[in-house]
Amino acid sequence: MSKKKPLVSVIMNCHNGEKYLKESIKSLMSQTYKNWELVFWDNKSTDKSAQIVSSFQDKRIQYYCSPEHTDLGEGRRRAFEKVKGDYLAILDVDDFWFPLKIEKQLKLFEDSDVVVGTTNAYLFNKENKVILYKKKPPAGYIFEKLLVKYNIYFSTVMFKVSAINDLKYQFDPDFNHIADFDLVIRCAKFGKLAYCNEILTSYRVHANSESYRFLKKFVFERNLWAKKNI
């Protein structure tokens, strides 16, 4: 009897993300690994995002509309409550994956001590495309190293869901702009981070991304995180 393949839950948070949304979902549909679910959390969009999602007509896609608009951190927390999978990945509406992303990344968890897996990526815009990691980044038990230098992009990450559930809390409601940093760091405190040295993700850099629009708020939340956790 063949072993049942683990379910990979993919969270996609969206607020008026119609511009790149179809490309992002198509990249998930094109994955060689097929046992996934998409938890699509619509944060009260007023554009055509809902229509774009419904056009795919795939039972693996679960659409949820938030009862009210919230910040991104709260949206991620609410979306996580709907997750049914063994592993969790994040695909933002303006990024996309290459077809082998899930398949290759799952192999990182053959080491039972691994709680977070990452990949290399392209950072790109209309004019340029660069490789995220020119040199292989550290892996293993690297909690302290991540505190000193954190350069992980959320769309490259996969978590072991049981490791997230073992934490005191999952997505911390105190954080919006650094919800990804917070979750990765707290998981890395209790297990290994593994790295797949292949470019499996494309991260879109543009003026409307939160990291550009709210840089001061990122800095404020990082300082708050340090006070709370260290």
Distance CA 65, CA 75 (A): 10
Residue holding tokens 């350069």? 151
∠100-104-108 over CA atoms, to 5°? Answer: 160
The amino acid present at 209, given as its one-letter code, is S
Residue holding tokens 């795939």? 58
Alpha-carbon distance values, 18 to 21, 53, 123 (Å):
5, 9, 20
Percent of the chain with pLDDT over 90: 80
What letter would DSSP give residue 93?
A: T
- 4-39: pLDDT as tens digits: 899 999 999 999 999 999 999 999 999 999 999 999
Q: Which of 78, 202, 62, 220 is nearest to 128 (CA)?
A: 202
What letter would DSSP give residue 166?
A: T
Secondary structure of residue 88 in the 3-state scheme: strand
Q: Which helix (H) or strand (E) holds 116?
A: strand 114-124
- 120-162: pLDDT as tens digits: 999 999 889 999 999 999 999 999 999 999 989 999 999 999 9
Higher pLDDT: 206 or 83? It is 83
Say how far residue 93 (Cα) sits from the centre of its chain: 11
